[in-house]
Chain A
Amino acid sequence: MKKIVPWIFVIMFVAWAIASLWQRPEAGFRTREFGKLPVMLNGRIQPMDSAARNALLQIRARQSVGQMNATAWLMETMMDPIAADNLDVFHIDNPELLNLLQLPEQQKYYSFDQIRPHYDDLAQQAKCINDIEDADRSAFECQLLKLNNALEIYQQLKWSLCRPDTEDFSAQLAAYQQSIPSGVVAAHARGAGQSYDTAALNRLLNFMAGYGKQANSASLLVVPPAQNAKSRDDWQNIGVSLINAARGSDIEPVVKDYAAMVTAYQRNRPDDFNRAVRNCHEDLSHTGFDLELNKAAREFFFNEFQPFYKAIVIYVTAFLLALIALLTFALAPKLSETLRRSAFWLVILGGVIHTFGLLFRIWLEGRPPVTNLYSSAIFIGWGCVVLGIILERIFAVGLGSAAASFAGFVTLVIAHNLTFGGDTMEMLPAVLNANCWLTTHVVVVTLGYAATFMAGLLGITYVLLGLFTPLLKHESGKMELGKTLAKMVYGIICFATLFSFTGTVLGGIWADQSWGRFWGWDPKENGALLIVLWNAIILHARWGGIIRERGLMNMVIFGNIVTSWSWFGVNMLGIGLHSYGFMDAGFKWLVLFAASQIVLIILGMLPVRGQSK
């Protein structure tokens, strides 16, 4: 029983994870094949699928529109904008904003058609708000800017393949190509002061005006650089590419493929569409862009597999099992042991998938694991899980698994909430563009955060068990559970001190390397220093006998506040060199979190039977 049940759990979840990889070939329009096409956006090559998901996350705070997945929505937006304008994709929940736009309150999502009548008001307001300092903006003003940004993203996507009023893109391209020779002759003649064919020139200029507008409005760079381009990163949008065609180069085959897709989509001819997508893949491959095709395909796989979502589900299950194991170990030791083992093996499975996701991202980006707030959350979670697994291996009472799965779950949910900011694999500005320092300083200091949080989590466990159960006094393994927890916390605080100190000083050394100042009292540096100081205080207070078991627990809970301040709080100050991770809405959550920790500390001070001094 003890051996079989854990195996059953693990096999079940492995089967579930693998099953999601197996996809039935699509009937009709093959959106998945379209989703794998590479596009240059935000300075990096990514699949259409990522462009679609990131846009939708920013606009709708979801990765799909009802039954429609992100790529299908993107196709509709780019190829049939009139239909797309009627989809409920804009997430608005601020009452003042709804009032301004005269929209009904009961809906959660609104369509572009609904917003259109007040589009100009909105743009006007946004312009004024842009001049207000970030910190002084009201919730209404922040939401208005967010909506304005979402509308901008949406409009840029609508223009990315063709002008939104295009009826037959392929035919339009053919007409354009035909108009080029006579139009160019006319233009030259006019330039030389000779008589020229006015109609031919106007025809060409008309086309070029439209493509010129598209060149300025489209966000997706879907046309690869020409053979003689300086860099293979020089991708262009379709508008730019078409204007270049008038200067003597041919219309790129990829542009023709996209035009064929648009026409087929509008005429509802899936076979033509699928053929055009296939041609596009082939044309890219023939012109030497296999590298980009492969990269896009890899990222597409990553998006579809969703390793972090899978890890969340597994962690939740593991946490529940570990919790039941903890609560029953005095009542039903055998059941408890079975559940404890199951939880442990599930944490390991979750950890493996979590690690896989982490490594895959490193591979995709060619970057160390932590480059922005999102990836720091993923990595802190990973660090906590690894620490928890080690603790469980040493102490085998279920506490390590419970803490690991809880921390893994919470940090991945936080990470998920950070995806609404946009592309999580964004490029790094020049100051941070240094793999060596990102690897040493950022990774080490982030592990320090992880360890401090892990200690805090165990502290909370201690307080809660002491308040609501008699378990702290129970013998488990070789000592009382309370003593075991104290040992764990002490060990982790040592680890946390080592990593936060080394990481912080390494950060100073990086600063010394990049602008000649070891320590500049930047808010983020100060935040990291606070963690080091707090951990040092805990250790010295313990060695000096100033605190014992309970004091230790209360102090590590306070460490949660210190760490969250350094992780998120300083980013909300919006000053200094590190404020790249600026975020606005998180402040309320930070305050709530800090308050909850204070409450726990107060509870931890209550005289309770189960706890020692």
Chain B
Amino acid sequence: MGLSVRTFCGTFIHISAFIKVFVSLRLTVVVLALAMVLVFTGTLGEVHLGLYKAQNEFFRSFLIYWHPKDTGWKIPLFPGGYSIGILLLLNLVAAHATRFKLSREKTGLWLIHAGVILLLAGQLFTDMFAVESQMHLRVGETKNYSESDRAYELQLQPKRFYLPFSLHLLAFTHDVYPGTDIPKNYSSRLLLDRPDTGEHREVLIYMNNPLRCAGWTFYQAGFDMDDQGTVLQVVKNPGWLTPYLACGLVAIGMVVQFLSHLVSFLRRRGTA
């Protein structure tokens, strides 16, 4: 009996030591440092592997592996983007659950961390649920689906995503600055037809001005060499708003936090 109590206490001490590490600032610093190493090596990896492959290996993974040549081995070298992101998320949540009290002086910190949590969680969510596809339209053509640029279906045609509306390309324009070949603007004038709401209108999509409709967003992504066709990036991302909110939360939080630091500092100097 005595033995088991002692074991229990021992385990408890171990667990609380573990929690202590887990909620500590030290872990935050270590995880942030790991993130830096990851981002830096990932950037270098992009040079050799290309953006897409490097992203999958470094950022959209739990572990980064080393594949020695001709051995078929997979040796894990470093935590990947998912592991680091989740670790940081847990560290933050745990720290708030145990160390931080809700008080007026800590308002800023709470806002900042809430923003960071929202940002990380939102990006994980986006990573799981966002759909990226493309729609290629020639002038005069109408389509009610977009196509994946990577996944293929059985008939070896790109995977299609059907939309509750159709787009008809009226015109594509491609302006350059006078006397140069620097592109000034690309734009696609389209006719949007949505049977379920009866919507029927002309829309103009150009750089930095996407069309949002029924949860899908259309961006100007490319064009045909003869300027008679357009390529639209078609994205469905239910988490698209999270970065906007997160950015607002963190910015407000930092302003609150640092201003209160500054004010109290200046006041102390004033009275000292």
Contact = CB atoms under 8 A, between A and B. Distances in A.
Nearest to B251: A502
A515 B219 contact: yes
A516 B254 contact: no
B208 A513 contact: yes
Interface in B191-245: 207-210, 217, 219, 221, 233-235, 237, 240, 243-244
Contact of A494 (B126, B221, B261): B261
A122 interface: no
Given A497-B254, A537-B32, A573 B180 contact: no
A430 interface: yes
Given A430-B183, A523-B46, A512 B33 contact: no
Given A394-B266, A544-B25, A41 B207 contact: no
Interface of B: 24-26, 28-29, 32-33, 35-36, 39-40, 42-43, 46-47, 51, 54-55, 59, 119, 123, 126, 132, 176-180, 182-186, 207-210, 217, 219, 221, 233-235, 237, 240, 243-244, 246-247, 250-251, 254-255, 257-258, 261-262, 265-266, 269, 272
B180 A514 contact: no
A540 B59 contact: no
A521 B42 contact: yes
A540 B32 contact: yes
Interface stretch (A271-279, A371-379, A524-532): A524-532
A505 interface: yes
Contacts of B35: 533
A487 to B, nearest CB: 7
A505 B119 contact: yes
Shortest Cβ-Cβ A-B pairs, 6 listed: A43-B177, A544-B25, A516-B235, A505-B247, A498-B254, A434-B208
9 contacts: A40-B179, A234-B178, A430-B183, A430-B184, A431-B207, A497-B254, A510-B208, A515-B219, A518-B126
Given A430-B207, A516-B217, A544 B246 contact: no
Contacts of A43: 176-180, 182, 184
Nearest to A434: B208
B183 to A, nearest CB: 4
B37 to A, nearest CB: 10
Contacts of A494: 254, 257-258, 261
Contacts of B177: 42-44, 233, 427
A509 B235 CA distance: 15
Contact of B233 (A40, A42, A516, A529): A516
A588 interface: no
Interface string A541-552: 101101000000
A514 B218 CA distance: 9
B98 to A, nearest CB: 15
Contact of B210 (A41, A501, A516): A516
Given A40-B178, A233-B178, A516-B235, 6 more contacts: A235-B179, A502-B251, A505-B247, A510-B208, A514-B219, A521-B55
Contacts of A437: 208
User: Which of B24, B179, B233, B269 counts the most A-chain CB atoms under 10 A from its CB?
Assistant: B179
The bracket for how many chain A residues form the interface is 35 or more
Interface of A: 40-44, 221, 231, 233-235, 394, 426-427, 429-431, 433-434, 437, 478, 487, 491, 494-495, 497-498, 501-502, 505-506, 508-510, 512-523, 526-527, 529-530, 533-534, 536-537, 540-541, 543-544, 546, 570, 573, 575-576
A498 B251 contact: yes
Contacts of B272: 478
A518 B258 contact: no
Contacts of A394: 266, 269
A509 B210 contact: no
A289 to B, nearest CB: 14
B182 to A, nearest CB: 5
A534 B55 CA distance: 21
Contacts of B247: 502, 505-506, 509
Given A233-B178, A501-B254, A519 B123 contact: yes
A121 B178 CA distance: 33
Contacts of A514: 207-208, 210, 219
Contacts of A502: 247, 250-251, 254
A546 B183 contact: no
B260 to A, nearest CB: 11
B129 to A, nearest CB: 13
B39 to A, nearest CB: 5
Contacts of A523: 43, 46
Given A514-B210, A519-B123, A508 B243 contact: yes
Given A43-B182, A429-B182, A495-B258, A478 B269 contact: yes
Contacts of A521: 42, 46, 51, 54-55, 59
Contact of B43 (A42, A498, A509, A573): A573
Contacts of B178: 40, 43, 221, 231, 233-235
Contacts of A427: 177, 180, 182, 184
A495 B251 CA distance: 11
Contacts of A231: 178
A544 B186 CA distance: 51
A325 B269 CA distance: 23
A176 B123 CA distance: 68
B185 A430 contact: yes
